[in-house]
Chains A and B, each alone.
Chain A
């Protein structure tokens, strides 16, 4: 088995997949706690559908660089969703459902009507579940992913205390002079970037799992925001790395393997949490 691995790691695409996978897993776990606790997880879900739609349009237009379309569209939708979420007239949830399901339907429709690909359902499937895309990354995509991931981590660290304040108690933050709306916007934009990144790794349907599972796992073990943040980053990185390696060895789809490992880790954390009584129900 070790031999098989060393053989595989001689191929650059396997190395790329591992590097990018670990970086993306790191970013996507950072905002997990915020998304879960701010009840923003539905925004993440909605955005992944939008990203799917954008990806479909990019495929139909035969763009060589899909990210150039998908990234701005998703970021824009994030801002829009946040705005409508704050608007009391249209309820946030239904706005998200409208935009996300709409984007998905149109995306699939466009792909069906205009796609020149001989294997349409295969294309759709890989956009949804990210089946093999991670192993076919070009060097340029790897660099772009690496730069974006590094940027996300840097911004997260610099705004860590502000993100905490706005997540823990938005009303208090606002009342005492923190420009909470600006930071909410920042969070939404980072989430959008993370979703576009994560789409490469696990496909659009499994993004929420990648974002939320490590956070939920870490919350079983730690009682401080810092502890949970660091722990969920570690869990996410380990799960992604082992998921990628398992999928290479066993020939399973990358995205679902990583998520399966994440679920396993969650089960383990629930168990450990119960045994040590680290957190009370």
Chain B
């Protein structure tokens, strides 16, 4: 059974549907990229998948015994976070909150695992630094380490590389790829179609036309080729 099955899903804001009748499924170990133009409803879809918004109709069915507190999430950044006084360690540890229940403090094992996740993301030297003093790339690593504390199964990432410079972007993509190779399922929103096609195993394209399939099926599809041509044209007219 699939880790996540989406059946006839319609979602949107205040009875205004953004997308209707969406169907796709994600298996354990998949690397799904959600692509589409700005404003096409990618973030809203992810929030609906996470249960932050009610679907208007249709179903989101978790499989493989996936529980709510076994999901990791890296949100598109908000402004409030930017001037928040919080150290890297405090933020990473907060990833465990969903698993603590009513227990007031983090236990030794959780602290050790937070340390390990900071090491993997290469930010252990920054553990006591204030989040707002970090560069954009470092901040994304902190949020990724927090997401890793929340899950060993599936990560949902909303534009994890937006605002990062090309070198850091590549590092970030490699990190995510290595997590996927360790068996963590990835569901990632991206507006960078080239990288999506390079790294993903499956693609969900939303917008006026909707496509879901494996990467190869996507490359052969009309949707993809139309979009590539459109992007090329907008690039040539820009210059």
Contact = CB atoms under 8 A, between A and B. Distances in A.
B86 A160 contact: no
A180 to B, nearest CB: 9
A110 to B, nearest CB: 39
A250 to B, nearest CB: 34
B90 interface: yes
Contacts of B104: 157-162
Contacts of A177: 67-71, 98-99
B14 interface: yes
Contact of B90 (A162, A178, A224, A279): A224
B87 interface: yes
Interface in A121-169: 157-162, 164-165, 167-169
A173 B104 CA distance: 15
Contact of B85 (A88, A158, A222): A222
A161 B105 contact: yes
Contacts of B90: 164, 224-226
Interface size class of A (residues with CB under 8 A): 35 or more
Nearest to B47: A171
B52 interface: yes
Interface in B186-222: none
Given A164-B86, A169-B81, A176-B73, A223 B14 contact: no
A177 B69 CA distance: 4
Interface in A165-195: 165, 167-169, 171-178
Interface residues of B, number: 43
A4 interface: no
Contact of B98 (A176, A223, A227): A176
A30 interface: no
A37 interface: yes
B130 A176 contact: no
B133 A280 contact: yes
Interface string B146-178: 100011000010000000000000000000000
Contact of B73 (A33, A38, A172, A226): A172
Q: Is the interface of A mostly helix, strand, loop or mixed?
A: helix
B44 to A, nearest CB: 12
Interface string A56-99: 00000000000000000000000000000000100000000000
Given A169-B75, A172-B73, A224 B85 contact: yes
A39 interface: yes
A175 B133 contact: no
Nearest to A88: B14
B86 A176 contact: no
Interface in B31-57: 47, 50-52
B97 A39 contact: no
Contacts of A162: 97, 100, 104
A20 interface: no
A104 to B, nearest CB: 29
Given A175-B71, A176-B72, A224-B90, A33 B98 contact: no
Nearest to B13: A88
Contacts of B71: 175-177
Contact of A39 (B47, B80, B85, B131): B80
21 contacts: A37-B84, A88-B14, A161-B93, A161-B105, A164-B94, A168-B86, A168-B94, A171-B52, A172-B75, A174-B50, A174-B52, A175-B73, A175-B156, A176-B150, A177-B98, A222-B85, A223-B85, A223-B131, A224-B128, A225-B87, A279-B130
